[in-house]
Amino acid sequence: MSLLRSISCLKSASVRTKFEYALNSYQNCRVPPQIVPSKRTVRAFFASMPCDSSVQNNSEQRMPVTRFTEDEEMVRDAARQWANDILKPVVREMDDECQTKPEIIQGLFESGFMGMEVPEEFGGSGMNFTSAILVVEELSRVDPSVSIMVDIHNTLTNNAVRFWGSDSLKNKWLPRLAADCVSSFALSEAGSGTDAFAMKTTAMASPDGSYYILNGEKLWISNSKEAGVFLVFANADTSLKHKGITAFMVDATTEGLHVGKPERKLGLRASSTCPVVFDNVKVDAVDILGEVGLGYKYCINILNEGRIGIAAQQLGIAKGCFDIAMPYLMERMQFGTRLSDFQGMEHQYAQIASEIHAAEVMTYNACRMKEIGMPFVKEASMVKLYASQVAEKAASKSIEWLGGVGFTKELLAEKFFRDCKVGSIYEGTSNIQLQTIAKRIKDDYR
């Protein structure tokens, strides 16, 4: 029986039985209408209700999305400890120097965070998508600049090679991607940001089709300074428009490939974002990812799950802000009262906590939908949109709660404030997410 059908049976049998029992018991209750049962009585009443055996037998199938497997919890805890012990002491230094330390990148590989879903036979961690997302979230609670490197590497490049790469490409790149080679996703150009398929980078095939020559320039390419390989999208037949777009795995040492000067950014300063120029770059046909002309499909599909990764990053930022602000509110005294005890403050952090939890549920639910093969495009867009809004709100509020010290670089709150803004821009702007959501809603009602 499929998972979805199992859940359907659970709803139609066990859950209904439990509620019918509760209803019948209430109707047979001898308590007079004017007497209100105590809280203890109500708790005892529900505790005495029998639990249908089918609910117990299917408990793993109906756990809340905020509950994780033992392996997932292990990965989350490992990422949290590494982020706090190894990453946190150098966050400010890397932000000031606008670069990620080589030892941090090495640590990411050694910890297994750069090959989360890469099969163990290729040297990867062999974990699931949710585990990869939990790593992104935990790293983001400390430094979103590092988490974006991990996110792009895992959810975009690694998975693209796993899904559509030939055996030759898998054998060539997956072991390196899991061990020591940072990857970069080269899609955007000066005239093709949101309109990604308007790209001008071309890939001209040789007369015998054994190789292609790439020419063009990509902009805003994350991880480009550290990358050992680029997943490049170029048009192999401009007469076909977007249906000529083809994906190539291009070694960073290939002659004619030049990485430009990093952009000076508002946030994510330790993450390199550079232009990448392709000047008569020769790429063998065996380095094509998937099939010629299907690059646009691969791009759309992989960015859908990439948006869940960005949501996890934004969720991590919101939690990171809370991690900084709440201890301060609990300790800071004004007028003889802790800031956290003023009702006006209680309402504010309760609201933010509720929104963070909502973003959590949306993120983990999208993960589970993706893992079991359900359509998740709408949910991925929803959670990227919402999580980026929550992150901005949490970052802004945390600085207000911290007062003057929040406005200084003594704490990382101001860095989170700068880092979160790009969440509404990259991997699909908020307006694009809204359009995608609206389109899916209309499809549902046709």
Active-site residue list:
427
Quote the tokens at residue 319.
Answer: 């939690």
Q: Check: CB of residue 234 under 8 Å from CB of residue 203.
A: yes
Q: How far is Cα 88 from Cα 147, in angstroms, rounded to an integer?
A: 12
Residue 21 Cα distances to 8, 29, 44, 321, angstroms = 20, 12, 15, 45
CB atoms within 10 A of CB 166: 16
Nearest to 165 by CA among 195, 227, 122: 122
Both ends of the chain: CA-CA distance in Å?
30
Q: How far is Cα 435 from Cα 432, in angstroms, rounded to an integer?
A: 5
Q: How far is Cα 380 from Cα 434, in angstroms, rounded to an integer?
A: 11
Which strand (E) or helix (H) includes residue 147? Answer: helix 144-151
Query: Tokens 């990148």 sit at which residue?
Result: 105
